[in-house]
C-alpha cells in the first residue's frame, strides 16, 4: 500500500502547525521545528515547494515566516502530498516493467486503483478537518495556551 515518506509526514505536520498557530503573524520555521521536532533540512525545502504551489505564502523580513495561502477549508491534504511526492527522487514501482502478465494485467492495475482511491480520500480531507481533529485530541495552538504568570 501507499507508504508515506518521512518528508511527506513532516510537510503535513508543518502545514497543520501553520494552520493552527498562524494568525496575525506568519509562523517562523524555527518555531515549527521546535514544536514539531522536524529537522530543518526536511522543512525548508518542503516549505519552499509549498509556497511555489500556492499552498503557503512566504513572508520576508524580521517578522517573516509562513502563512496559509488560502483558507484552511480550501486546502486538501492531497495537494500537500502531491507537492512533496514531486520532490522525492525514488521511482514509483508502478512505472517499472511488471515482468509478468499477471503483474502487468492484474496486480499493477489493482495497485493503481488503490492509490487513486487513497488520493481521492486525501483530496476530500481538508486542513480544517485535521485542525478539528487536533482540537478534539486536546492539541491547541501555542497562542491559545494561557500564559503562566507564576512567580
Report the SS3 class of residue 115.
Answer: helix
Query: How far apart are alpha carbons 4 and 81 in whole angstroms?
Result: 9
Question: Residue 33's CB: how many other CB atoms inside 10 A?
Answer: 18
Lowest mean per-residue pLDDT among 19-23, 32-36, 81-85, 97-101:
97-101
Residue-wise pLDDT for 15-51, tens only, equals 999 999 998 899 999 999 999 999 988 899 899 999 9
Amino acid 79: pLDDT: 97
pTM reported for the whole predicted model: 0.85
Query: C-alpha cell of 33?
Result: 521545528
* R_g over Cα of the chain: 18
What is the C-alpha separation between 17 and 24, in angstroms, rounded? 15
Averaged pLDDT of the chain: 88
Which residue ranges form the domains of the chain, and what is each CATH number? 6-91+126-141 (1.10.10.10)
Phi-psi region of 45 (alpha: psi -120 to 50; beta: other; left: phi over 0): alpha
Please report which confidence band the pLDDT of residue 89 belongs to, taking 50, 70 and 90 as the band edges: low
Statement: residue 122 has pLDDT above 80: yes
Name the strand (E) or helix (H) holding 65.
strand 65-68
Amino acid at each position: 500500500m501507499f507508504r508515506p515518506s518521512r518528508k511527506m509526514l513532516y510537510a503535513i505536520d508543518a502545514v497543520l502547525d501553520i494552520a493552527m498557530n498562524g494568525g496575525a503573524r506568519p509562523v517562523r520555521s524555527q518555531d515549527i521545528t521546535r514544536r514539531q521536532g522536524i529537522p530543518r533540512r526536511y522543512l525548508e525545502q518542503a516549505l519552499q515547494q509549498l509556497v511555489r504551489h500556492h499552498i503557503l505564502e512566504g513572508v520576508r523580513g524580521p517578522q517573516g515566516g509562513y502563512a496559509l495561502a488560502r483558507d484552511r477549508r480550501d486546502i486538501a491534504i492531497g495537494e500537500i502530498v502531491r507537492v512533496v511526492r514531486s520532490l522525492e527522487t525514488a521511482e514509483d514501482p508502478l512505472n517499472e516493467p511488471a515482468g509478468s502478465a499477471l503483474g502487468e494485467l492484474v496486480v499493477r492495475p489493482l495497485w493503481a486503483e488503490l492509490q487513486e482511491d487513497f488520493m481521492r480520500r486525501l483530496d476530500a480531507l481538508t486542513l480544517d478537518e485535521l485542525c478539528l481533529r487536533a482540537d478534539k485530541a486536546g492539541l491547541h495552538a501555542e497562542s491559545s495556551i494561557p500564559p503562566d504568570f507564576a512567580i
